[in-house]
Amino acid sequence: MPQCPLDLVTFAHALGDIAGDLLRGYARGPVAVETKGDGSPVTEVDRNVETALRDAIRRVHPGHGVIGEEFGHDRADAEFVWIVDPLDGTREFIQGLPLFGTLIALAHAGEIVLGLAEQPLTRDRFLGADGLGSTWNGTKMSVRPCATLADAVLSTTGYDSFAGHRYEVLRPLRGRAAGRANGDTWMVFGLLAAGRIDAIASDGFFLHDYAALDAIVRHAGGVMTDWAGRRLTLTSDRTILAAGDARVHADLLAALAGAGPSPG
């Protein structure tokens, strides 16, 4: 499929609208918080948004599958499968920080072909799709050139939260970079695609965390792989390495050689 069908791009935008409207409505009110088995927080908002997205997919594209953070797999072997993270950044949502968002991806025959990511309060929407490039609020965007890690602005998103088990690997990378983009947020991937930062290295990403971001970065001209340099798939090992310039990506790969997959 050389180009993602335009009707599916339009439908992805419709799903983003559904999620955004719901999250804006919930954002200023009280939220009951529960703790998952892995220690991460979850709210009724996460579940309600995913339910709304699943209902829309089932209604408009009943033959499509869905993989979601909160409710698992449904027809995951279908030709087209939507991958949804209804509320990425639940901690930030609970704290009232406008760093959360919704991530929506589409896979065709096992390949990620579209990704949409949106912060509903600022209404920043990033989208990348096969054959169509990447956009930020409808305007085409692309990565910027950067020769080496020593010249790069680097994000190690999750360094102070979910990637703490990688301190010994990520700390030296942070020290070698020219600058650091701080903040545990999916938005750093959109900013990399827009040429604002140069590289991202992290671990602990599930499929629903990285699928949409992979499409956005790649279709803006960037590179996104695991720590072994393998293109991301629906079953990647949770390590993430993104760069706007292939030279920085190669520099990071060399630095990460031997670090291995995520433990556990």
Helix 167-176 to helix 246-256 angle (10° resolution) is: 140
Q: For 154-201, how does the pLDDT look when each residue is reduced to its tens digit (9 = 90+)?
A: 999 877 677 778 878 888 999 999 999 987 799 999 999 999 999 999
Could you tell me the two tokens for 203? 């671990």
DSSP label at 231?
A: B
The pLDDT score that the predictor gives to residue 264 is 55
- pLDDT computed for residue 70 by the predictor: 94
Please provide the DSSP assignment of 203-214 as one string: ----HHHHHHHH
Domains along the sequence of the chain with CATH: 6-140 (3.30.540.10), 149-256 (3.40.190.80)
Identify the helix (H) or strand (E) that includes residue 7: helix 6-26
**Dihedrals φ, ψ of 211, to 5°?**
-60, -50
pLDDT number for residue 1 = 65
Cα–Cα distances (Å) from 48 to 20, 34, 37, 55, in that order, read: 12, 14, 19, 11
Walking along the chain (264 residues) 10 residues at a time, the average pLDDT comes out as: 93 98 90 81 92 98 97 96 96 91 97 98 97 98 97 87 79 92 90 98 94 98 97 95 98 86 63
Cα–Cα nearest to 170, from 189, 191, 144, 149: 149
